[in-house]
Amino acid sequence: MTDITQTPNAPVPSDKPKGGSLFEKDPRTKRRNAAEGRFKMYGIAAIGVGLLMLVVLVTNIVTAGMGAFQQTFLELDVTLLESKLDKKGNRNIDDIKKVSTFGYAPLVSAALESEVEKLGIQTDLKPKKMAGILSKAAMAKLRNYVVANPDEIGKTVSFRFLANSRVDGYIKGRVTRASIANDKSISSEQLDFVDQLIDAGVLYKAFDPDFIFGADASDQRPEAAGIGVSMLGSLFMMLVVLALALPIGVAASIYLEEFAPQNRLTDIIEVNISNLAAVPSIVFGILGLAVFINYMHLPTSAPLVGGLVLTLMTLPTIIISTRASLKAVPPSIRDAALGVGASKMQAVFHHVLPLAAPGILTGTIIGLAQALGETAPLLLIGMVGFIASNPPDGIVEGFLSPNSAMPAQIYEWSKRADPAFYERAWGGIIILLLFLVTMNTIAVILRRRFERRW
């Protein structure tokens, strides 16, 4: 009633309600809707840019790095001449070992020369130049074989040798005749020879398992360098991190979350744990150098020290995620346990911890993945250089003998002069990313399957 009297000149409500129809938008609503639409567009654009970057990054990594998984090989029958390898002829292993890898070079040249004759290839190259297309690792492979099988001396054995990095680059299209104009390590005649060998089918590109499982190689033979040994180094470091960071981190968070009194001291500790998570990793490296190496005299470059440093780095991550998952367990569970007469410790270990376990595991795996990709602290404790050259002999050796880690090895490769190492650095990145993606996937799966929502 009052409505009608107060608005005598108002339009008929059923015709046009105050504030406009829901079907007809007034300018203000239009503006708000437009703002919402724009915001959605911004969001989509941001995601689009992110995805585009990811695609660019992944394509870049894959195109630059896939080459490292394939190497150029040359099939060759080598006659293991007794006159060169075992002059006394008594197959004494000490005498055979006296012939150095340099002593094997003539055998390889001779083998290549006879192969050329057999295949009917016409070339003006001298045998030594012909052997120049092979990797220096070929002599080492030959010597290792002979030392391991001294009975084969005098026989002709078939080998698959690596071609040198320039030839490999030529096959992969990185090296061209124009780009080697000033190059002293390879000539255009040698590339002609390579073409002839390809036609004859003895020189070909194939998958190279040694890149994944092999050891690092010196600057002169990038084609032989592999990431396997530094992978082991990373593995041993992760074992140390897991064995130390998980129990210490979980114990610390259980105490802080369930037992510690709420006072100023625990507040300070909590704030500092969060601060610690934000400390740049290089700081932990300096700390590791000062404490573990200079003060405690642990061996330099050892995965044990690397693991200890990374433990310090991972602890805050694990503590924070563990506390979060402990907090997520509803208090009613604790109250129920305490109510039926469990001690506080029984309540925590029998009821709260199992329920929080998936979250703790997820946090731990993410912390490990972070530690796996960390390079900066490793630079300071001597894990960069020509380190990962020997696979460790055993478990203890694995922890203590000098080794590198995957990210440190990638960094080292990217610094070296020969462009072929650059390709291997990208290849190493692919392997490292595969590890990280796998670990994160496991974390996601664990969370999906076991995490309970209340």
Partner 1 sequence: MSFVKLSASVLAIAAVSATTAAARDQVQIAGSSTVLPYASIVAEAFGENFDFPTPVVESGGSSAGLKRFCEGVGENTIDVANASRQIRENEIKVCADAGVTDIIEVQIGYDGIVFASDINGNSFEFTPDDWYKALSAQIVVDGALADNPFKTWDQVNPNFPAQPIAAFIPGTKHGTREVFEDKVILAGCEHTGDFDAYLAAAEGDSDKAKKKAAEKACIALRTDGVSVDIDGDYTEALARIDSNKDGIGVFGLAFYENNTDKLQVATMSDVVPSTESISSGEYPVSRPLFFYVKKAHIGVIPGLKEYAEFFVADEIAGPDGPLAEYGLVSDPELVKVQDAVANEATLGGGS
Judged by CB under 8 A, which of 5, 83, 122, 182 binds partner 1?
Answer: 182
Judged by CB under 8 A, which of 78, 107, 180, 273 binds partner 1?
Answer: 180
Identify which of residues 62 and 251 has a Cβ nearer to partner 1 in the complex: 251
388 and 409 in contact (C-beta within 8 Å)? yes
Which residues, at least 6 apart from 346, have a Cβ–Cβ distance to it below 8 Å?
Answer: 337
The DSSP result for 173-194, as a single string, is TSS-TTTTTT-SS--HHHHHHH
Tell me how far CA of residue 305 lies from CA of 132, 278, 380, 409, in angstroms. Answer: 41, 21, 11, 17
Stretch that binds partner 1, among 108-116, 189-197, 270-278, 292-300 (CB under 8 A): 292-300
User: What is the smallest separation between the CB atom of 128 and partner 1, expressed in angstroms?
Assistant: 11
- The span from the CA of 55 to the CA of 78, in Å, is 47
Give the total residue count for the chain.
Answer: 454
Judged by CB under 8 A, which of 18, 88, 184, 453 binds partner 1?
Answer: 184
Q: Judged by CB under 8 A, does residue 219 bind partner 1?
A: yes
In the block, residue with structure tokens 């060998």: 197
Closest-CA residue to 371 (of 179, 243, 207): 243
Stretch that binds partner 1, among 29-37, 72-80, 297-305, 329-337 (CB under 8 A): 297-305
Identify which of residues 202 and 425 has a Cβ nearer to partner 1 in the complex: 425
Q: Judged by CB under 8 A, does residue 318 bind partner 1?
A: no
Binding to partner 1, residues 120-149 (CB under 8 A): 136, 140, 143-144
In the block, residue with structure tokens 């020369």: 113
Q: What letter does residue 321 receive in the DSSP assignment? A: H
Q: Give the binding-site size for partner 1 (rule: CB under 8 A).
A: 57
Q: Between 347 and 376, how does the x/- string for binding to partner 1 read (CB under 8 A)? A: --x---x-----------------------
Identify which of residues 26 and 219 has a Cβ nearer to partner 1 in the complex: 219
User: What is the smallest separation between the CB atom of 300 and partner 1, expressed in angstroms?
Assistant: 7
128-147 burial string, b = 16+ CB within 10 Å, else e?
Answer: ebbbbbbbbbbbebbbeebe
Beta bridge partners of 162: 73
Binding to partner 1, residues 8-67 (CB under 8 A): none
For 160, the token pair is 């698959």
Q: Judged by CB under 8 A, does residue 179 bind partner 1?
A: yes
User: What is the smallest separation between the CB atom of 438 and partner 1, expressed in angstroms?
Assistant: 24
Q: Judged by CB under 8 A, does residue 402 bind partner 1?
A: yes
- The span from the CA of 205 to the CA of 168, in Å, is 8
Judged by CB under 8 A, which of 29, 92, 149, 218 binds partner 1?
Answer: 218
* Residue 158: φ, ψ to 5°: -95, 130
Q: Judged by CB under 8 A, does residue 92 bind partner 1?
A: no
For 260, the token pair is 């510690």
Stretch that binds partner 1, among 36-44, 61-69, 70-78, 211-219 (CB under 8 A): 211-219
User: What is the smallest separation between the CB atom of 123 and partner 1, expressed in angstroms?
Assistant: 22
Q: Is the dihedral of CA 68, 72, 76, 80 positive or negative?
A: negative
What is the SS3 assignment for 153? Answer: coil
Identify which of residues 78 and 246 has a Cβ nearer to partner 1 in the complex: 246
Q: Judged by CB under 8 A, does residue 241 bind partner 1?
A: no
Judged by CB under 8 A, which of 418, 431, 439, 443 binds partner 1?
Answer: 418
Judged by CB under 8 A, which of 114, 123, 300, 370 binds partner 1?
Answer: 300
User: What is the smallest separation between the CB atom of 316 and partner 1, expressed in angstroms?
Assistant: 17
Closest-CA residue to 69 (of 173, 199, 213): 213
Judged by CB under 8 A, which of 97, 155, 327, 344 binds partner 1?
Answer: 97
For 231, the token pair is 């992978």
State the CB neighbour count (10 A cutoff) for residue 59: 10
For 173, the token pair is 């299209």
Q: Where are the beta strands (DSSP E) in 264-357?
A: none
User: What is the smallest separation between the CB atom of 37 and partner 1, expressed in angstroms?
Assistant: 40
Q: Is the dihedral of CA 372, 373, 377, 382 positive or negative?
A: positive
Q: Judged by CB under 8 A, does residue 101 bind partner 1?
A: yes
For 189, the token pair is 């005649």
Binding site for partner 1 (CB under 8 A): 97, 100-102, 136, 140, 143-144, 175, 179-185, 217-221, 243-244, 246-248, 250-251, 254, 293, 296-301, 304, 349, 353, 382, 384-387, 389-390, 396, 399-402, 414-419
